[in-house]
Chain A
Amino acid sequence: MEIYLPIAEMSVHWLIILGMGGAVGFLSGMLGVGGGFLLTPLLIFYGVPSEVAVATTASHLTASSMSGVISQWRRRAVDLKMAAVMIAGGFAGTIGGVYLFAFLRKLGQIDLVVSASYVIMLGTIGSIMLRESIAAVRAARAGQPLTAPGTAHHNWVHGLPFKMRFRQSRLYISVIPPLALGFVVGVLSAIMGVGGGFIAVPAMIYLLRMPTNIVMGTSLLQILAVTAASTILHALDNYTVDIILGGLLVLGGVVGAQYGVRMAARMRGEELRLLLATLVLLVAVRLLYGLIATPSDLFSVTVGTP
């Protein structure tokens, strides 16, 4: 049965949308990522206008990070203070990002910027992860113990001013890096429709040196707040949040995520990372192809006021 989306102003098959949400939910449950980086391009390939795709994915991420935060909260794996600092940066970034989004849309360059940022982000992260996970898989096959990244070493981050104590993370560091990290994630969320966990998690582990078990919950709480803000701002400025589309995606997503989590329990960590890296690189290559290949029609038409 086809269903009409009142904001996207198009009809879609509800099973396809549920399936999309389910598939992305499955992967995000399995790989521990939000899945925004997959969902936004998928929706755009399906024909949803890119501004609706970005804004609606943000509301989808609100739901998935909500259930994530609850389960992490039960394990007391959320550093509230750290999350609050990152959220403060995140709100500033989201506001800036939504205005940048509206400005780029006016210039007609929003599709280019969205695609190009995806290519750069995903390409970089995918390559790093691929290298790391291949090394890890090889090491595991050869039976060698892994050398864990050192957490005791101090880096440049510890030389910055405005230090603050984060009890739960057992850190005494400057507030500038978490603020800046939150800001970057906020901008990404507004422009690309992603939660930004794939940036925030590695940065929190390697740059801020937070304990790994707290990173996930803290990052999820920040994603929850930032995507909620992003949803409201997109609804206010661009009228692009489609509640029906969002609801269908969430329904598919929450079910898919549960199966993904169970699947993950049966797989090895380094294999999961290898899979994620491959996926990330595939999306990047597909988007890069879209930028380079000669389009079938050089002209594009937008209806409405510029």
Chain B
Amino acid sequence: MKRAFFVTALLVLLPTAASPDELVSGLSQDLVEITSNYTGTDIVVFGAIESGNSAETPTSRDVVVVVRGPDSDMIVRRKARVAGIWINRDRITLGGMPSYYFVASTRPLSQIAPAQSLQRYQIGLANLVPKSESTHIFAKGEPFRHAVIRERERVGLYSAKPNGVEFLSYSLFRVRVPVPAGVPRGQYTAEVYLFSDGTVVSAQSTPLFVDQIGIERRIYNFAHEWPFAYGLAAVFMAMVLGWLSSLIFRER
């Protein structure tokens, strides 16, 4: 909530702020469709920086692109050895972590802005914090939060490209955002930040949807809306296939 507030506040305040540069950005597509042969794709976030005052050249100008997936709860368990066997022992629930997170920037984040402002906008993998946590002890929760970031990075759902923003000209840039197979469905947001000398001077947020379409969607809906009929259909299909196979291979 806090982060959303900051972003909104920025969007409202910025046009009136005395900022020389403004940001215009867009997406190559605003709907990613998961079909039967979906193996992941790239979407492109592109944009331009419109200089308010062309005579002035800013000392440092950085673009950071963040794509966040819908929030979900993460249950993290830690194994411990009990009688020689590894068993899940401690459990902490992190509520409202992004299910997908991608960040790209013109150079390493630590060089762009001070840690505080990166934390405020949740920019950077290490700065992702849950909305709620089932423990109030910071030291206890930290290893679990790091575990989520590690695991999501391993499966390719969290990623960071410190040099992922490509400048095509002085003001035109683009970023390739990987959308791997296995991304959760839902509403994503693509946020583009323009930093100048370590502070955000312009920001833009665009929604992006990821959804199953076609037969996959229908199967998924069928399974969730009519589970009993779906189960019957699965059994029926299996029985027919079994029966057919015994017919086909009968006399051979």
Chain B residues near A257 (CB-CB < 8 A): 245
Chain B residues near A239 (CB-CB < 8 A): 223-224, 227
Cβ of B239 under 8 Å from chain A: yes
Chain A residues near B86 (CB-CB < 8 A): 291-295, 298
Whether B238 lies near A10 (C-beta < 8 A) is: no
Whether B182 lies near A247 (C-beta < 8 A) is: no
Given contacts A4-B34, A60-B238, A301-B76, contact A112 B84 (CB under 8 A): no
Cβ of A243 under 8 Å from chain B: yes
Provide the A82-119 mask, 1 if CB < 8 A to any CB of B, else 0. Answer: 00000000000000000000000000110010001000
**Chain B residue nearest in CB terms to A110:** B88
Whether A67 lies near B246 (C-beta < 8 A) is: yes
Cβ of A128 under 8 Å from chain B: no
A272 to chain B, nearest CB (A): 20
Whether A235 lies near B246 (C-beta < 8 A) is: no
Whether A108 lies near B223 (C-beta < 8 A) is: no
- A: number of interface residues (CB 8 Å): 59
In the bound complex, how far is the Cα of B151 from the Cα of A297, in angstroms?
A: 9
Cβ of B197 under 8 Å from chain A: no
Indicate the member of B34, B182, B232 with the most A CB atoms within 10 Å: B182
In the bound complex, how far is the Cα of B245 from the Cα of A247, in angstroms?
A: 13
**Chain B residue nearest in CB terms to A115:** B85
Chain B residues near A231 (CB-CB < 8 A): 231, 234-235, 238
Whether B242 lies near A63 (C-beta < 8 A) is: yes
Chain A residues near B77 (CB-CB < 8 A): 108, 299-300, 302
A–B complex contacts, Cβ < 8 Å, 30 sampled: A1-B37, A2-B38, A3-B36, A4-B181, A6-B219, A10-B181, A11-B39, A11-B182, A59-B235, A62-B238, A63-B239, A70-B246, A109-B88, A231-B234, A231-B238, A232-B231, A232-B234, A232-B235, A234-B231, A236-B227, A250-B238, A254-B244, A291-B86, A295-B79, A297-B147, A299-B151, A300-B76, A301-B152, A304-B73, A306-B75
7 cross-chain pairs, A with B, having the tightest CB-CB distances, nearest first: A66-B242, A235-B231, A299-B147, A232-B231, A254-B245, A67-B246, A62-B238
